[in-house]
Structure 1
Amino acid sequence: MNDVLEEAGATLAYGALGIALMALGYLVVEVTTPGRLGHQIWNEGNRGAALLLSAKLLGVGAIVTTAIVTSDDDLGQGLIDTTVFGLLGIVLMVIAFYLLDLSTPGKLGATLVEGTAIHPAGWVVAAADVAVAAIVAGAVS
């Protein structure tokens, strides 16, 4: 019974950390795009904004999952590793976004959430987020 309780506690701790990191990923998309992200997605049906947020959340989730799977049996160290790699992944995704922004005309964030259709650049940013997440996840293992 103690093993089940310990595993349940670890699951709650990793789950809370993963949700916190995904919330940070949400805030990153909120800051890098104009307007209120939630309103754009849920009220305006903005597919471009939804694609950006989805890619960011999937990327963060992949990093967190890999960090959890590769962590030792030490819960404390596993939580630290997951936090560090999750934050590094988010920082690297932001850097990749701004590097793409420098190489494109206009403001990339504004371009991505213009209208309700997905701008082709949205697929590029989404791919960059997933690729960065894969790189960080690979570095974790």
Structure 2
Amino acid sequence: MTDLLNALFHAVVYAVVSGAILIVAYYVLDLVTPGHLGSHLHGSDEDGKASVHLQSRSAALVASAWMISNALVLFTAIWSNGATSFGWPLVWTVSFGLLGVALNAAMLFAIDAVTPGNLRQIVTEPGPVRPLAYLAGATALSVAAIVCASIA
């Protein structure tokens, strides 16, 4: 019974810590994209009025890939280290989780620098998914794969 309670406690702690890092990841993406990311996803104008015509499907694709990417890094860190105990495994999870967020932001700027136009502006424009949004989403998932491989 003690093992079960201990495992449940670990699960709650890792879930809370990972959830906090994912919230940080969302806010970092919000900071590196023009405007308010929530408005692009919701389709709100400056007055807060929602319209399906103001929604950015490109922003939704990039934000989804960004969140999955960061969650994969957290998953791998927990899976590789979390069964042992708290302490260093939790520090590893936080460290790699924040590294994943930082590398995703850096790669978004790098891809923006080598692609035509303003990638960060393009992926927040209302309407259908723009081709550059697929590149931005794939880049986030690529970063996750690299960081996950370095953990494992």
Q: Same fold (TM over 0.5)?
A: yes
| Superposition deviation, residue 116 in structure 1 | 2.0
Q: Deviations over 1:50-80 (max 9, x none)?
A: 1111011100110011001110512221110
Q: Is the 8 A contact 2:56 2:126 kept in 1?
A: yes
Of Structure 1 and Structure 2, the greater helix share is in: 1
**TM-score, normalization: structure 2?**
0.87
The alignment covers a number of residue pairs equal to: 141
> AA paired with 1:138?
A
Larger radius of gyration: 2
Moved over 6 A (4+): none
Percent identity of paired positions between Structure 1 and Structure 2: 30
**Structure 1 match to 2:92:** 81
Asked if 1:105 is matched to 2:113, the reply is no
Question: What does residue range 1-141 of structure 1 map to in structure 2 within 5 Å?
Answer: 1-43=1-43, 44-71=54-81, 73-141=84-152
What is the RMSD computed on CA atoms of the aligned residues?
A: 1.2
| Superposition deviation, residue 3 in structure 1 | 1.2
> AA paired with 2:72?
A
Unaligned runs of 5+ in 1: none
Which whole-Å CA distance do the structure 2 matches of 1:114 and 1:40 have between them? Answer: 8
Which whole-Å CA distance do the structure 1 matches of 2:74 and 2:22 have between them? Answer: 9
Unaligned runs of 5+ in 2: 44-53
**TM-score, normalization: structure 1?**
0.94
